[in-house]
Amino acid sequence: MESRREGGLGVVELVPTGIAGFDELLGGGLVAGTMALVEGAPGTGKTTLGLGFIHHGVVARGEPGLVLTFEEVPQQLYRDALNFGWDLRRLVEAGTLSVICLTPDVLQRYLADPEEIWQRLARGISPRRVLIDSVTHLRQLTDDPVRLREILNLFLSGMRRHGLTALLLKELESRGGESIPFEEYAVDAVIRLTYAPQGDDGARQRFLEVLKTRGQEHVPGRHSFAFAENGLRVYPRPRPRPITPSRGERHVFLGIAGLDQLFEGGIPTPAQVMLVGDTGVGKTLSALLFTHEGLTCGEWCGFVDCDEVPAMTRRTLAHFGLVTTAHERLGRLRFIDAYGRAGGGEEIAVHDPSNLDEFLNVEDRLLDTLRARGEVRLCVDGLSTILATSRYQAAIEFVAARLHNLRARQIVGLDTYTAGVLEPRLMNAIAQHYDLVLSMRFGEVHGAPIRLAAVEKYRFGKVAREEHIFSVDPRIGIIFHKAALQG
């Protein structure tokens, strides 16, 4: 067990659940001896969460486990667990795990001798962690709510006496009347799993929320989670950080020399830049130049690829003579693959780009790593793609949360949006959150196609707002032409 000292409360022992991201919400794990209720509708992931907790205890921490199931026979549990690489049968054979399938009748007999119940159930393995799947089945023992509460308390007090840490799974009942089930009062912690519709297209997303923890703090709010290869992975939503005042007059440039000339002396940090443009107009190249500028100036850079895999982006960089191999090797440039296709081979990836919490979480971890080393510049190429399936309010909140965090950490950011992907109302609302908004579009002069760029918004001063003609040379890249478009 790990220990943690809490202000004024002495040393508190923590039991890490081993579920990626979940322990972060709890400040490191459950307080030892906690009886935690995990409630959720069928199929939300309760059993997987519980088995992950037990497996981690046995395998990673040498803490024997006990699984009491009223629902499934052990063989079914073993088979399901193997999907996540957990060989429970081997642990049972090794004597570090006990899996007991109970019928109500058998349980009734055990309850007749409450003092010995835990030794008998554990069959001599001295468990430290317990999973009960599920307490809902205790209702089969009696219709009397008073007796039911007594039975539950009998379970809980027995476990507490033996210093066990337990997860008690429970089918979530209708919340229409908002009556709170008595189990929530009896336990120390309540964790709720939901599987709710999110996007405009009705796509569902899984969320985990810690409703209660007795004797320890937790990160409130709903946090999305997903089934990963080795169990559940929770994506804690980054907590808003206090914005620290800028440490001086650091100014940065966009890396597009012709455009930078418009901002005499550079753009103050931590500016957040929105670049909106037509498909194929040069947004990605601009994003790459922005990133290359950061590398040239010794910044630590992140590049999030939402519209293609980073391998393609690297090819584009090389094509324009912006090779970054060494910078990547040195960790000065890190790519995040947020394209969402399997097999990208990147070290850092957002597996489900429509999951905004996962996106924020992955991005936040990268920024933690980079920020520890120096000034940071972040570019997200194709953010409109990420937001395309989100609801209006969720998208706004996401953008606000991201930019708040970037500003709080003094990080300069540039996000590209493809024109026409998001609703105009949403685009307008999003633009409100940025300091600098640039537009790039295709136009026509005397029947000839041209590219035009303009500064739509600049929070830090006055800038000429006329459109500038630019071109994209296949070798050189973006070339701004001196003359602005008149009329």
Partner 1 sequence: MSGSTNDPTLRGRRIGLSYESAANLFCRDLVDGVREAAAARGVEVIARDSAQSPRRQLADISALLDEGVDVLVISALDPPSLTGALAAAEARGIPVFTVDRGADGPVVSHVTSDNQMGGRLAAGLLLEALGGEGEVAIVGLPSASSVEERLRGFKDALSGQSAVRLVAEVSGESNRQQARAVAAALLRDHPNLAGIFAINDVTVQGVLGAIHEAGRSASAVVVGYDATPQGCEEIMRGGPLRGEVAQFPQRIGHTVVDLWADYLRGVAVPGRVEIPVELVTRENVERFTGAERLLRVQRGEVRIAGERVVFFPVRGYQMLLNEIYAASPDLLRHIVYRSGFVLGESIARQVGELYPDPRDHLFVLLEDLSRSGFGSFELLDLDLDTGRAEVQGHDLFEAAIAPDLAWAHSPRCVDTYCSGRLAGYLSVIFQRPAASEEIACQARGDGYCRFAISAEAR
* One-letter amino acid of 454: A
Nearer to partner 1, 412 or 437 (CB): 412
Return the DSSP state at 410.
T
Question: What is the size of the binding site for partner 1 (CB under 8 A)?
Answer: 31
In the list 245, 298, 447, 474, the residue contacting partner 1 (rule: CB under 8 A) is 298
Q: Does 482 bind partner 1 (CB under 8 A)?
A: yes
Which span (154-162, 238-246, 321-329, 406-414) binds partner 1, by CB under 8 A?
Answer: 321-329
Q: How far apart are CA 17 and CA 22, in angstroms?
A: 7
Q: Does 480 bind partner 1 (CB under 8 A)?
A: yes
Q: Does 42 bind partner 1 (CB under 8 A)?
A: no
Max CA separation in the chain (angstroms): 94
Return the DSSP state at 191.
E
In the list 75, 119, 126, 261, the residue contacting partner 1 (rule: CB under 8 A) is 261
Binding mask 426-465 for partner 1 (x = CB under 8 A): ----------------------------------------
Q: Does 265 bind partner 1 (CB under 8 A)?
A: yes
- β-bridge pairing 165-171 and 97-101: unpaired
User: 406 is written with which tokens?
Assistant: 């970037």
Nearer to partner 1, 96 or 269 (CB): 269
- Listed in sequence order, the DSSP H helices in 297-355 are 310-319, 325-329
Q: How far is the CB of 299 from partner 1 (least distance, A)?
A: 10
Q: How far apart are CA 90 and CA 11, in angstroms?
A: 35
Q: By the 8 A CB rule, do 183 and 148 touch?
A: no
| Long-range CB contact pairs, 223-228, < 8 A, 24+ | 223/21, 223/25, 223/357, 224/355, 224/356, 224/357, 224/358, 225/21, 225/22, 225/45, 225/193, 226/351, 226/352, 226/355, 226/358, 227/45, 227/48, 228/20, 228/351
Q: How far is the CB of 379 from partner 1 (least distance, A)?
A: 18
Which span (123-131, 135-143, 249-257, 438-446) binds partner 1, by CB under 8 A?
Answer: 249-257
Which span (77-85, 134-142, 238-246, 322-330) binds partner 1, by CB under 8 A?
Answer: 322-330
Nearer to partner 1, 1 or 257 (CB): 257
Q: How far is the CB of 411 from partner 1 (least distance, A)?
A: 16
Taking CA atoms, 261 is separated from 161, 250, 389, in Å, by: 72, 17, 37
The residues binding partner 1 (CB under 8 A) are 251-253, 256-258, 260-261, 265-266, 295-298, 318, 321, 323-327, 329-330, 332, 475-480, 482
